[in-house]
Amino acid sequence: MPLPPRPLIIDCDPGVDDCFALFAACASPELDVQAVCTVAGNVRLDTCTRNALGALALAGRHDIPVYPGSDRPLSVAPVYADHIHGETGLGRAELPPPLRHPEPVHAVDHLVGLLKNAPERSVTLAPTGPLTNLAAALECDPGIARGINEVVLMGGADTEGGNISPHAEFNIYADPHAAKIVFESGLPLTVLSLDVTLQLRCTPERMAELDAADTPVTRAASAMIGHVNAIYGEIYGKAGAALHDPTVILYLLSPDLFETRTVRAEIVCEPEDWRGHTRVVNASGADANAVWVDAIDAEAGFALLLERMRRL
């Protein structure tokens, strides 16, 4: 007998790879996407919210509400990644008009209201952007932890160092104080960092597979990632942009594709040179605070991602 769909809230900052994650989640009956929350990150909040609504419209999911959230980090000045994602956050893609308006409730208020009344350990959270919304919700009402089954997030780096500084990954760097709150919260955390996401690249061969699918969703996805592929070549000298955020959805769908270990991960907020660094050591028992994902079967992972996007 199949398991019931997993209740899921996606907290994101679309962004190219966030849209890939949204497409995969929308196409997966194993996941009951109850809401999408947005946060400033890759681009500014209003742009992230518009992109989330457009991605859901293209996926045909008018049933999923979008809650705009935090427009700046808790303590530090905002940083954006529009130099990678483009001014619109979508590369060269254009998404259809939204099928619904953003909700009039702030994402933090929605998280607090939903989670404090949810059955114990019933809701999975999938943050793929800065952790500002979740941290603010925990600060507002620590009791919401009772309703959270697990947090599966994209952020951080150990062996890979960083992508916004030599020592930090963008999502953690963008709001290190929020990340520190979440990592010290005692919540069950699974972390998909650059260590694993850089293994899932949209290489020329995979780009050809994406183009061959030739659906409205895959055409939009190709226009998004094609832009980032060009930027990666210019900035990093590497072929194939990393598909960071979809790894979160792939992990939820098929954790057997990944290799993990238990760790103690601590967030460095200062000095500035080390802002957003994730200090990771192997740990067990009470010392551990996260499951750290080290590796993915990239061929199988990309095949699953593409298979889901073809469904839309």
- So which residues are the catalytic ones? 244
Q: Which of 121, 120, 148, 122 is nearest to 134 (CA)?
A: 148
Q: Which of 164, 192, 193, 176 is nearest to 83 (CA)?
A: 164
Integer CA distances (angstroms), 172 to 79, 132, 276, 278, in order: 11, 10, 5, 8
Integer CA distances (angstroms), 310 to 8, 52, 211, 248, in order: 21, 19, 11, 18
Q: Which token pair is 225?
A: 């990632």
Q: Which token pair is 122?
A: 């019933």
CA distance 225 to 232: 10
What is the three-class DSSP state of 9? strand
CA distance 192 to 95: 27
CB atoms within 10 A of CB 245: 32
CA distance 37 to 57: 15
CA distance 42 to 54: 16
Structural contact between residues 258 and 304, judged by C-beta atoms closer than 8 angstroms = no
